[in-house]
């Protein structure tokens, strides 16, 4: 099965095996947001992927 490369480039696997991605919606139109919400968008968001989709989204997983 092919890996979805465009999505796998947005994910990062940590040393302990957690998967982190950026929060959506913080690429542009941030001028009206408060500074705290702008900085909150920079933090990573951890989530879990079930095994079947993980093999499709992440290489070597």
Residue 20: name the closest of 2, 41, 46, 39 by CA. Answer: 46
Encoding tokens for residue 7? 């999505």
What confidence tens digit (pLDDT) does each residue in 6-61 have? 877 888 888 887 888 888 888 888 899 999 988 888 888 887 766 666 666 666 65
**CB neighbour burial string for 12-51, b if at least 16 within 10 angstroms, e if fewer:** eeeeeeebeeeeeebeeeeeeeeeeeeeeeeeeeeeeeee
* pTM to 2 decimal places: 0.54
pLDDT at 1 over 70: no
In this prediction, residue 51 carries a pLDDT of 64
In this prediction, residue 50 carries a pLDDT of 67
Fold classification of 5-57 (topology level):
Factor Xa Inhibitor (4.10.410)
């Amino acid at each position: 099965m092919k890996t979805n490369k465009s999505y796998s480039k947005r994910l990062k696997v940590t040393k302990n095996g957690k998967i982190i991605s950026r929060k959506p919606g913080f690429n542009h139109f941030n001028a009206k947001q408060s500074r705290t919400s702008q900085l909150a968008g920079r933090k990573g968001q951890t989530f879990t992927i079930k095994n079947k989709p993980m093999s499709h989204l992440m290489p070597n997983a």
